[in-house]
Homo-oligomer: A and B are copies of this chain.
Amino acid sequence: MDKLKLKALYADLRPDLDQVEKELITSVASDAPLLTDASLHLLQAGGKRIRPVFVLLSAKFGDFSIERIKHVAVPVELIHMASLVHDDVIDDADTRRGRPTVKAEWNNRMAMYTGDFLFSKAIASLANIEKPYAHKLLADTMVELCIGEIEQVEDKRLYDLSVKDYLRRIRRKTALLIRVSCELGALASEVDDKTRIHLRNFGYYVGMSFQIVDDILDIVSTDEMLGKPAGSDLLLGNITLPVVYARDEANVSRLLARIEQGDTTEETRHELLTVLRKSEGLEKAKRLSNLYLEKAMNEMRSLPNSPAKRSLQNIALFMSKRKF
């Protein structure tokens, strides 16, 4: 994703995001230099802070106070980070975003407890918001993320994954944390219920659209654009929407059968990418992504015009229409 272009869409938020960034650093302070170092290592890896952006923009529809809202923006980003560091333990990953993982730089024990530490710090930060319902929302989302992690394995190598299975998976993997970011931002700023629900639904639909696009880009992008071999996830049995749709096309099903029998050579990967890029499945996936984008835009329709609304619309468009 072109980070610079994305950031231009919420340039107005710069001072608020700087405050969030400061609070992120403050929030991981502790008596344990190792845990704080590992957390800072993760924070400094960058990331787009897209979840805090959704929190802030949603909060702008109500009684906005950066001093209050930073305690919502920080937890969602910390939970995102915690889930990444735990994933790295399980996936045995050595790098993420081009930097060594906590697991690689320190060890598995550090990665485990850094994740737990970040979860705890997220809850501690949210405790500044005097709304028990906020804790319930965030905790319920965390539960769904865990379920998603377990389902992902069950689904793995299941070449008969249905469209419904796929959608349920990306809902938990991506859409729910964006949804809760919007909803918590609105809740903490006393946004009226009707607007809050629109923002919440908007976040959900944007998340769905975004993840489908991500999965399309994994097929159509070059290795250089992705920073990893295109289609590599498919070889591992992580089936995505374009493949689900294209599975019945003769060339695709022939190749999938080969992969399922263990043929994961470079040649097979290239062949699969070639047929998928020309397949109907790719077009169908794009259509579904556009449908979610449309639904997201519909949620915005009845909300009053404002710079925050325009930013949300632009971000949604950008995330769904990006080329990498």
Contacts and interface: CB of A to CB of B under 8 A. Distances in A.
Interface stretch (A10-18, A93-101, A107-115, A200-208): A107-115
B109 A150 contact: yes
Given A130-B132, A139-B127, A150 B86 contact: no
Contact of A119 (B110, B119, B127): B119
A30 B140 CA distance: 10
Number of copies: 2
B135 A117 contact: no
Contact of A113 (B109, B113, B150): B150
A84 to B, nearest CB: 12
A32 interface: yes
Nearest to A153: B109
Interface stretch (A57-65, A141-149, A266-274, A305-313): A141-149
A124 interface: yes
Nearest to A146: B117
A230 interface: no
Interface of A is mostly: helix
A3 to B, nearest CB: 29
Given A109-B150, A113-B150, A126 B135 contact: yes
A144 B34 CA distance: 13
Given A110-B150, A147-B32, A150-B35, A127 B120 contact: no
A160 interface: no
A89 B146 CA distance: 16
B132 A129 contact: yes
Interface of A: 30-32, 34-35, 83, 86, 89-90, 108-110, 112-117, 119-121, 123-124, 126-133, 135-136, 138-140, 142-143, 145-147, 149-151, 153-154
7 contacts: A30-B147, A32-B150, A109-B153, A112-B149, A123-B138, A124-B143, A126-B135
Nearest first, the 6 A-B pairs at minimum CB distance are A120-B142, A124-B139, A127-B136, A123-B139, A127-B135, A32-B147
